[in-house]
Structure 1
């Protein structure tokens, strides 16, 4: 039954298309042997292989598969110890090279983080027989000629052959060049007969040269003579060539022995590469017909969207949407002939066979294909002259076979069910057959032009009507499948369009039953409703696409604005940080100068210097990025400046804060570590800090100062450590510590020495000592602060 179904659905024609994409004779054999599978696991495995190959084709365009040869016979001959010829050995080397190159290709894809599962595992099973490949290629060139380098003995023999050939040719050419020789020769050339060098001698001078006659011309006027003086050299040359042939046979036998040692590995390579070639043939074919991988449904349901028959050219076919198995398990397609009903049946059948063969199918992404244990089809003219069967009898014979074998896991395709006999009886028979197949649980698609079956779907649960659209204006089918709408005969409309008289059409209408008229009006109403719904859908879809495009455009513009905002913010932050860094550097320089002055001016308190430095450090600006910004409120002008207000001295272009008012128009302003009196007119108000709760002075010392009584320098670089010690001592003085510990570790002693030297010259350090046994010993220096 399957063979007949494959023939009816033209499965072999599809395989002929697939055959063009196989790269080797082995791949072509694999394609020719392809048939649908019926085990779910096998089908899913085949689809996984095809999908992985298709992924590589989509990303890389092609895969390196050239060089694969059919070496099965050579492997078997090598196994039994036979000697392989040059061509067989070259095919083996070519196949090894093809497998090695493909394996490297897959490994490269994996390194590029392309997700592959099946092909890496397949290629890992192939042993890279690089040594055998090189051994063969070093002995035999691409034309099948054994090279001089195949063995030292062969090189020596061939050198001897070339020397002997040169010698005999030289002797004979001397004869052809001599004046007496030219007179006795038909032509002044040296030629070969019976693998021996000879000269063409005129018949009358045959006895002049002696030697052996090997051949003569057709006229008998020229004899090809091996002169007596050349016989010995020719004999030596023949002996050398015999040695050459013996050595070549020895080399081939040795190479054949190397092949016999790895026949198992070669068989694996051949099997894997054949399967790879088949996988990529399916992938290339799928790409050529714009196929996609379908979802698979084991319940036999399918939903094929924009489905196309692979044998019909893309520019000639109208894609169809057809589904079965969810709301209904039987589909009855009605309507006139040549409308595309049979194409719909064949499309469903072909795509089902392709899906169960592991092929991707020409449908829209997201389509579903059913998996069936049996597929039956009764399509086309089955009239048999040999068996004296009419069309009806032949169809019925096929239907009987289907009814005997159909089960609940079957897909059945009936074309023109009940045709070829009396319409009334044929329609009744069709209904009975459909009812029986439905009761078994099989999925059914049937086409018919019987009007009685138009009402069939309305009286049966799980059955739905469908039709192929027909354009009355052009008198041509559109080939669009309309689910839920039975087909109209359109006979009256077509006749009127073609010019048949209205009176004849009206009279014909009187012979149509009231039920038929009612059915036709219902169908017409359904078509009108469908067209209106399609128009509304198209308008809504156009509006949706326009809205989506506008949304995408706005989103892109918003993203651009956010990126620009971030860029501007980063530039501002960078500029502000540079300004703060410059101010810190200047502050450090000023503090250093003041410390030098401290020795000469004891009245300058050290804690004041440290406090000034802390204020400078706290002035560093950190800009916080915000995704959403609220509008900036304008500051109200301030008439009276209060202590603490942030101001800018316009003449100095410096910021500071009001310390106190020195009069009605003068203010004492703190600028960094300096205080100066400034006129009100020279001041620009910036901001007024909010009042904060202050703690008593005592709370600013000890633990609340967040300064630990020790500083750990282990692991730091020398220069960084010295800077940390400087800052830590200032913080410790402010925190009120009398003693601190500097942990520098033992190590080489360089860090300890640097710390101790810094502590000795620091003005706030009273004395230093190494730590005791319980304090860390020589790895710690303890400093007493003033």
Structure 2
């Protein structure tokens, strides 16, 4: 017959449990999760967390963790406070009990917290809309009506609000009135019997108003004795005058409690009516809190989400043990399960072998539990059917187990349970017995695991296992490096070569006498000595090769950066050249159009006047047209010469700018002469033609060597130092720039930028006298203007405005 199982039973059967979780410290990860949980519901899920062998369940859990991880990094922690444990209260209510005020306030707090959690949903469209996190938050059921009813009815766990019902309000009002009547009567009694009172106060005994009377005079007041003091010197008497009123107060107190019980019962009924939605919210909040806890430890560990595979391939890049502080642990690269399935790790003691085994095993368990792990992006983790480990010295006096026996008991268990895709981790395999027998046994165990298809990581000091890894397919050596110069381990795992135990070096470092070390070396066989030297030389060569690779990679990166920089400069030069040529062509075109229009006008005038002109006069006018035409051609030649000067392509940025040197001004597109050395702020005074301006050093370029010198023109008026472009630039700037600048209404940085640009435009346009309007106000703009003018070399002088000029609200300046 077939055995029927539920979904929960099938899921539980895929969980990895047992001693391996504590061996690899997974229980400590669970404890960290519990500390992060904000609710008792989430904490219970965290405490029950176990790795699973279901790849699809792992992917879903990892994605949920990553979603919350992304949300927290972007928006902060989820509001998970205020979710009290309502399960005992709900069970009590379902059993017929009435919830007290404390329990009802807890229900209101839970419902308010549900509403706060729902408030994290974005108002509009978000790139997180398809997150499972948001789907769960949307599925929460709010009940503001019930929360408001509880909050408005109950003030605290000991006090019901007067307005909880009209009946309760009326009862308490009548109680206050009767209490006032009682006090009035008792005040009169106290006034008449002051000499027999222990003190002039009204007290309450057994919920009835009484007076403290000296015991010797108790017969002088007609009333009921309700209590006596511990010394017997005072009796508390209820005068007969207030007995009836106290009786009515007692009746009202009973009615008040009955009304409070009725209200509590009514609110309890409302809670029971909403219990199904409340219980559903509990389950949803538990899952959200669980995912939040996983995301929070991922943030603490600086973790990443690895890729998942079912092929048994592990590739952890820069993996860190999650229980070792990340500022002290040395990251390690671990790769196994693709080209080889067995990794034999050797190296010095305290070199990191055991930590690397635990890191690989623990990170695998964490991924299978849906947790992100402290590795670099691009890492990959495998899903295994079994994770089995033998790590540490588990000798037991009670069970008469030695170190070897304890290890062997674990290995026997591992051999029996290797099934399907299995990850096996073995520390110091074969140790604790005769070296020859231990090595042979270790090789046999590794070979059996290899034949069963297990992915195995094992540490050893046996040279026989190193030889086994070299000579067998699917098995590879790995070594933790040791720096013989510093006598310190590097904690770096190198795959593909065996390592040395460095027992002699470590012993010497710890203070063992040299004589003993020399004697020990002398007792080694020649083959063993040669093997040790070979391994040491291999380690030195590998370190040197790695150093050269690192250096070559750095040079490659630098070369790529320089290549990209040169390409950008080439593109900039090409763009500048194109701009200069286009500007020159446009200039020539405009010049020719002007000349054509001028000649056409002269021709029209000649035709118009030809009827009344003599032949000689017509010939004279035609000669004028010819002269104008020749002059235009000469001007065109002069412009071509100017274009040759203006077409100088900018070269490299000058290392140093010297006075008198020629430099191409990129912002103006002309070549000028430096009038002075650069100032401290990097400004240089340049002269181009008739224009003197100030530019930044980075706006200057060295002209190329083949820059043509300007050719002398036959037309003297057109021979200028920088061509027609400079003259037109100066004319255009003068025509567009006003002699007044308005700064009122601008912020400080805006005003400073506008003022510097304005001085530049005035300098280019040949405007010398300027007026700057900054207003009086707080004086901030005036200070900015004064500071700017005082340090600008283009400003000859400046002063505040005089009466009629704007007074202190303006500054008058003169430019050089």
Please tell me whether residue 440 in structure 1 is matched to residue 452 in structure 2. Answer: yes
Q: Judge conservation of contact 1:658–1:668 (CA < 8 Å) in 2.
A: no
Q: Judge conservation of contact 1:289–1:310 (CA < 8 Å) in 2.
A: yes
- 18, 23, 31: which one aligns with 1:16: 31
- 580, 593, 603: which one aligns with 1:647: 593
Please tell me whether residue 157 in structure 1 is matched to residue 107 in structure 2. Answer: no
Cα distance in 1 for partners of 2:606, 2:511 equals 111
- Output aligned runs, 1:98-177, within 5 Å: 98-108=113-123, 111-143=125-157, 145-176=159-190
Q: Which residue of 1 aligns with 2:797?
A: none
Q: Judge conservation of contact 2:203–2:209 (CA < 8 Å) in 1.
A: yes
3-state secondary structure, aligned to 1:321: strand
Rg larger in structure:
1
3-state secondary structure, aligned to 1:251: helix
Q: Which residue of 1 aligns with 2:663?
A: none
| Worse-superposed segment, 75-84 or 14-23 | 75-84
Cα distance in 2 for partners of 1:656, 1:163 equals 111
Q: Which residue of 1 aligns with 2:375?
A: 363
Q: Pick closer, same or farther for the CA change 1:245–1:425 going to 2, 3 Å.
A: same
3-state secondary structure, aligned to 1:309: coil
Q: Pick closer, same or farther for the CA change 1:132–1:503 going to 2, 3 Å.
A: closer
Q: Pick closer, same or farther for the CA change 1:239–1:125 going to 2, 3 Å.
A: same
Please tell me whether residue 49 in structure 1 is matched to residue 64 in structure 2. Answer: yes
- 620, 631, 641: which one aligns with 2:581: 631
Cα distance in 1 for partners of 2:171, 2:54 equals 63
Q: Which residue of 2 aligns with 1:64?
A: 79
Cα distance in 2 for partners of 1:627, 1:229 equals 116
Q: Pick closer, same or farther for the CA change 1:399–1:242 going to 2, 3 Å.
A: same
Cα distance in 1 for partners of 2:237, 2:27 equals 63
Cα distance in 2 for partners of 1:489, 1:258 equals 73
Q: Pick closer, same or farther for the CA change 1:228–1:552 going to 2, 3 Å.
A: farther
Q: Which residue of 1 aligns with 2:736?
A: none
Q: Pick closer, same or farther for the CA change 1:241–1:35 going to 2, 3 Å.
A: same
Unaligned 5+ residue runs, structure 2? 1-15, 610-620, 637-816
Cα distance in 2 for partners of 1:441, 1:547 equals 46
Cα distance per residue 1:39-74 (max 9 Å; x no partner): 111111111110110011110122222221221233
Please tell me whether residue 273 in structure 1 is matched to residue 285 in structure 2. Answer: yes
Q: Which residue of 2 aligns with 1:97?
A: 112
Q: Judge conservation of contact 1:81–1:257 (CA < 8 Å) in 2.
A: no
Q: Which residue of 2 aligns with 1:26?
A: 41
Cα distance in 2 for partners of 1:554, 1:140 equals 76
3-state secondary structure, aligned to 1:411: strand
Shift of 1:561: 11
Q: Judge conservation of contact 1:345–1:413 (CA < 8 Å) in 2.
A: yes
Please tell me whether residue 188 in structure 1 is matched to residue 226 in structure 2. Answer: no
Q: Which residue of 2 aligns with 1:469?
A: 481
Cα distance in 2 for partners of 1:447, 1:263 equals 57
Cα distance in 2 for partners of 1:42, 1:425 equals 44
Q: Pick closer, same or farther for the CA change 1:255–1:632 going to 2, 3 Å.
A: same
Please tell me whether residue 83 in structure 1 is matched to residue 98 in structure 2. Answer: yes
- 656, 662, 668: which one aligns with 2:603: 662
Q: Which residue of 1 aligns with 2:439?
A: 427
Cα distance per residue 1:501-554 (max 9 Å; x no partner): 766555533432233223212311221122112212322333344456667878
Shift of 1:659: 4.4
Q: Judge conservation of contact 1:26–1:69 (CA < 8 Å) in 2.
A: no
- Output aligned runs, 1:771-786, within 5 Å: none
Cα distance per residue 1:548-591 (max 9 Å; x no partner): 666787899999999xx9xxxxxxxxxxxxxxxxxxxxxxxxxx
- Output aligned runs, 1:351-430, within 5 Å: 351-430=363-442
3-state secondary structure, aligned to 1:192: strand
3-state secondary structure, aligned to 1:296: strand
RMSD: 3.5
Cα distance per residue 1:379-401 (max 9 Å; x no partner): 11111222222221122111111
Q: Pick closer, same or farther for the CA change 1:284–1:548 going to 2, 3 Å.
A: farther
Shift of 1:478: 3.2
Q: Judge conservation of contact 1:647–1:684 (CA < 8 Å) in 2.
A: no
Shift of 1:275: 0.7
Q: Judge conservation of contact 1:182–1:188 (CA < 8 Å) in 2.
A: yes
Q: Which residue of 1 aligns with 2:806?
A: none
Q: Pick closer, same or farther for the CA change 1:144–1:3 going to 2, 3 Å.
A: farther
| Worse-superposed segment, 228-237 or 342-351 | 228-237
Normalising by the residue count of structure 1, what TM-score does the alignment of the two structures yield?
Answer: 0.71
Q: Pick closer, same or farther for the CA change 1:170–1:343 going to 2, 3 Å.
A: farther
Cα distance in 2 for partners of 1:164, 1:111 equals 62
- 442, 464, 479: which one aligns with 1:452: 464
Q: Judge conservation of contact 1:161–1:240 (CA < 8 Å) in 2.
A: yes
Cα distance per residue 1:573-627 (max 9 Å; x no partner): xxxxxxxxxxxxxxxxxxxxxxxxxxxxxxxxxxxxxxxxxxxxxxxxxxxxx99
Q: Judge conservation of contact 2:101–2:264 (CA < 8 Å) in 1.
A: yes
Cα distance in 2 for partners of 1:74, 1:482 equals 59
Q: Pick closer, same or farther for the CA change 1:181–1:648 going to 2, 3 Å.
A: farther
| Worse-superposed segment, 543-552 or 458-467 | 543-552
Q: Which residue of 2 aligns with 1:326?
A: 338
Q: Which residue of 1 aligns with 2:492?
A: 480
Q: Judge conservation of contact 1:339–1:479 (CA < 8 Å) in 2.
A: yes
Cα distance in 1 for partners of 2:580, 2:63 equals 55
3-state secondary structure, aligned to 2:593: strand
| Worse-superposed segment, 118-127 or 353-362 | 118-127
Shift of 1:631: 2.8
Q: Which residue of 1 aligns with 2:548?
A: 536
Cα distance per residue 1:211-268 (max 9 Å; x no partner): 2222222211112222222222222112111111111111111112222222221111
3-state secondary structure, aligned to 1:464: strand
Q: Which residue of 2 aligns with 1:777?
A: none
Shift of 1:470: 2.7
3-state secondary structure, aligned to 2:384: coil
Unaligned 5+ residue runs, structure 1? 566-625, 650-654, 670-675, 688-786
Please tell me whether residue 295 in structure 1 is matched to residue 295 in structure 2. Answer: no
Cα distance in 2 for partners of 1:634, 1:557 equals 22
3-state secondary structure, aligned to 2:394: coil
- 217, 225, 245: which one aligns with 1:205: 217
Cα distance in 2 for partners of 1:552, 1:170 equals 98
3-state secondary structure, aligned to 2:497: coil
Equivalent residues, number: 607
Cα distance in 2 for partners of 1:455, 1:65 equals 57
Cα distance in 2 for partners of 1:270, 1:559 equals 64
Q: Judge conservation of contact 1:472–1:494 (CA < 8 Å) in 2.
A: no
Cα distance in 2 for partners of 1:276, 1:268 equals 13
Q: Judge conservation of contact 1:5–1:377 (CA < 8 Å) in 2.
A: yes
Q: Judge conservation of contact 2:101–2:156 (CA < 8 Å) in 1.
A: no
Q: Judge conservation of contact 2:487–2:505 (CA < 8 Å) in 1.
A: no
Q: Pick closer, same or farther for the CA change 1:497–1:37 going to 2, 3 Å.
A: closer
3-state secondary structure, aligned to 2:582: coil
Q: Which residue of 1 aligns with 2:10?
A: none
Cα distance in 2 for partners of 1:553, 1:164 equals 95
